[in-house]
Amino acid sequence: MSAVHDWVIKTRSLIDELKRPKKILVFVNPYGGRRKAPNIYKRKVLPILQLAGCEVDCILTQRANHARDMLENVDVPIKVFDAIVCVGGDGMFAELLNGIINRAQLEANQNTSLQNVPERPTTTIGVIPAGSTDAVAFSSCGNNSPVTATVHIVLGNRVNIDVCAIHSVREEGKLIRYATSFLGYGYFGDTLKASEKNRWMGPRRYDYAGFKKILGHKLYSGELRLHVSTIDGSPKDSDVCTSNCPMCAKSAARTKYAKEITSRPTIEDEGTACVQIRGRFLGINAATMTCRCGMSKDGISPAAHLGNGCTDLIVVTKCSRANYLRYMMRTGFMPDSPFDLNFVDVYRVREFEFTPIVNPANTKQSYQLSKASVWNCDGEIINEAAIHVKVHCQLVTVFGNGRENRNPDKESMKSKRKINNFNATDSDPRKKAEQNCVSNRAEIYVKH
């Protein structure tokens, strides 16, 4: 018995040396998704946390932005916690994300304007999936299992992820919010806005609103200005982001090196091409991670990375209803790549700016809000149409280790079958933009 006792003590001492969270603040959203979060927490999450010896403080949120407001309140002592976790969907995770980043800026007295780089939060956050899509959990943990996500937390598995800062163009770069998964204008923005009228339908409201918007087939005119990366791979790459991703590691090292040699830890001018696009669009979608979910098994952008300092910008130009349905089906479940369609362009960008055009050029204002679409930002509506989006490389640490690659050869072959028409020009945004100039879809200008 003495030997067993010594073994238990030795094992616990070794475990204590690991960077495992011991005190955790948990927010549970009782209203999101299918309203199963409280039951998931009680039956699946809490027993594991207790078994691991974690001290848990649980808060049941009462309203939208409850968690965000608490985290932004400097009188709330969040540093006593080793981790802050939410049980909910992507919208709930977005509350935690914005809360801890804004808190870090307040404590550092940091200006949140477009020119400044946000202060990096020291708190690690996590998400226990209990929402409608759970795209963040799929990307950071590999699946949407509450048990898997909880195990990552108690083991202290961590991964750094990119964060997009969204600024208003009309208000001279004023910060709107932060996002880390999806940003969509046009179809996805209209669908989210229309679905708010039918919240009583639950998650089915998205299918209903989306079907109506496909029938409506509304186009939006606008201008995009992109800073396209030439050294961070392509959205059409065959390799996907997995645990210990070499591309993400390289981007982190490059960002750290830039921070050490300059007062501004950004490298926008290195390895970027400036591209300007003017035209009519059905949708403009930015995926900062793959955004895998039950409705899209490979994600909106299958080759997107968690921490390469870029977002994959997908531009869907004018096409027929049938062709747009083809794009949606390929994005959802068909094996063919949606990026092979001739009305879909995709760019890997470090930042971009969009300005809608709905009035003649000689009028006083460039657009009317009533005639523009809205942005779908991680499941929340941004009514400001003209925005500037800047990606900050690996700004936040979350629990998880990315997607496991159990069979690299099989995964690579699968990706190669999915991406059929990749060629050398796709890796060069200048050549790609010049090729697209011959189309009637949009006017594209490239700054050499």
CB 403 within 8 A of CB 240: yes
Average pLDDT, the chain: 85
Handedness of CA 128, 134, 140, 142 (dihedral sign): positive
Tell me, yes or no, whether 431 lies in a domain. no
Task: Return d(Cα 332, Cα 183) in angstroms, integer.
Answer: 17
Tell me, yes or no, whether 221 lies in a domain. yes
Residue of higher predicted confidence among 271 and 170? 170
Range scoring the smallest mean pLDDT among 363-377, 389-403, 413-427: 413-427
338 and 388 inside one domain: yes
| Given 57, 75, 82, 90, the catalytic residue | 90
The per-residue pLDDT for 294 is 84
Task: Return d(Cα 236, Cα 301) in angstroms, integer.
Answer: 9
174 and 316 inside one domain: yes
Residue of higher predicted confidence among 433 and 319? 319
DSSP H stretches of helix in 362-437: 408-418, 429-436
Would you call 442 helix, strand, or coil by DSSP? strand
* pLDDT tens-digit readout, 233-275: 899 988 889 888 999 999 888 887 666 655 554 444 567 899 9
Residue 420: both structure tokens together: 């059929």
The per-residue pLDDT for 241 is 92
Name residues whose C-beta falls within 8 Å of residue 391's C-beta, 6 or more positions apart in sequence. Answer: 162, 163, 164, 165, 288, 309, 310, 311, 349, 350, 351
DSSP 340: G
Q: Which helix (H) or strand (E) holds 70?
A: helix 66-72
Does the structure show a pLDDT above 90 at 147?
yes
The per-residue pLDDT for 156 is 95
Name residues whose C-beta falls within 8 Å of residue 66's C-beta, 6 or more positions apart in sequence. Answer: 27, 59, 95
Q: If pLDDT is split at 50, 70 and 90, which confidence band does 73 have?
A: very high
What is the rounded average pLDDT of the residues 41-50? 96
CATH code for position 82: 3.40.50.10330
Q: DSSP secondary structure string, 252-294?
A: HHHHHHHHHHSSS---TTTTEEEEEEEEEEEEEEEESS---BT
Does the structure show a pLDDT above 70 at 46?
yes
**What residues pair up with 304 in beta bridges, in sequence order?**
none
273 and 347 inside one domain: yes
237 and 146 inside one domain: no
Q: If pLDDT is split at 50, 70 and 90, which confidence band does 402 have?
A: confident
Does the structure show a pLDDT above 90 at 43?
yes
Q: How many domains does the chain have?
A: 2
CATH code for position 211: 2.60.200.40
Range scoring the smallest mean pLDDT among 99-103, 210-214, 349-353: 210-214
167 and 236 inside one domain: yes
Does the structure show a pLDDT above 90 at 199?
no
Residue of higher predicted confidence among 11 and 203? 203
The per-residue pLDDT for 45 is 97
CB 105 within 8 A of CB 119: yes
The per-residue pLDDT for 35 is 83
Does the structure show a pLDDT above 60 at 442?
no
What is the rounded average pLDDT of the residues 59-78? 94
Name residues whose C-beta falls within 8 Å of residue 48's C-beta, 6 or more positions apart in sequence. Answer: 147, 150, 151, 154
Q: If pLDDT is split at 50, 70 and 90, which confidence band does 371 have?
A: confident
- Parent domain of 74: 1-157+400-415
What is the rounded average pLDDT of the residues 185-195? 95
Does the active-site annotation cover 340? no
CB 136 within 8 A of CB 302: no
Does the structure show a pLDDT above 80 at 435?
no
User: What backbone torsions phi and psi does residue 352 show, to the nearest 5 degrees?
Assistant: -155, 160
138 and 181 inside one domain: no
User: What backbone torsions phi and psi does residue 287 show, to the nearest 5 degrees?
Assistant: -115, 110
Q: If pLDDT is split at 50, 70 and 90, which confidence band does 165 have?
A: very high
176 and 136 inside one domain: no
DSSP 44: I
The per-residue pLDDT for 428 is 55
Query: What's this model's pTM, rounded to 2 decimal places?
Result: 0.85
